[in-house]
Amino acid sequence: MENCIFCKIVRGEIPSTKIYEDDNVLVFKDLHPVSPVHVLIIPKVHFDNLHMMSTSCEGLEALNAIFQALPEIVRLVGLEEKGFRLINNCGVSAGQSVMHTHFHLIGGRSLGTKIV
Ligand code: DGP
């Protein structure tokens, strides 16, 4: 997508601190971290949101690629033993501000028991 910030990051037009990359998945540090570890996991192919991904075959394949990569990503950010929280905001009312599906992988401190 021409004007999507995360597509621009995938194309290298906007700099990012990359943590992991393969043919289908890119992981980079969030610009505004909320915890010592806060990275964004995105499909390289543009999908507006998780709902759109999970309702198409192409999207499900991209989700599969993300979850296959997850153990390696978790290892790279050092959260294998500590644990982590994986968050997706789907849609404006859920707080999604960048309309390219992304998962927040956060950890490195006690996150408490409440989701919100
Ligand atoms: P969400 O609210 O779930 O859509 O989260 C969007 C996240 O994206 C937010 O935590 C900040 C991050 N973000 C926005 N623009 C950029 C950017 O240009 N670079 C990086 N690394 N992160 C960004």
Q: Taking the CA of residue 27 as centre, how many other CA atoms within 13 Å lie in the half-sphere pointing to its CB?
A: 25
Strand, helix or coil at 53?
Answer: helix
**Pocket-testing residue among 10, 98, 106, ligand 1, by greatest number of atoms within 8 A of Cβ:** 98
Q: Which residue shows structure tokens 């006690």?
A: 110
Contact (Cβ atoms closer than 8 angstroms) between residue 87 and residue 35:
no
User: So what's the pLDDT on residue 69?
Assistant: 98
Q: Which helix (H) or strand (E) holds 10?
A: helix 5-11
Contact (Cβ atoms closer than 8 angstroms) between residue 83 and residue 61:
no
User: So what's the pLDDT on residue 27?
Assistant: 99
The yes-or-no verdict on residue 116 having pLDDT over 90 is no
pLDDT classification of 90: cutoffs 50, 70, 90? very high
Furthest C-alpha separation in the chain? 39
Please report which residue ranges of 33-106 form alpha helices under DSSP H: 50-54, 57-76
Domain segments of the chain as ranges: 5-107
**Above pLDDT 90, what percent of the chain?**
98
**Pocket-testing residue among 3, 20, 40, ligand 1, by greatest number of atoms within 8 A of Cβ:** 40
Domain 5-107 grouped into CATH 3.90.550.10: no
What residues line ligand 1, using a CB cutoff of 6 Å? Answer: 5, 14, 16, 28-32, 40, 89, 95-98
Q: Rounded to an integer, what distance in angstroms lies between the CA atom of residue 60 and that of residue 54?
A: 5
pLDDT classification of 98: cutoffs 50, 70, 90? very high
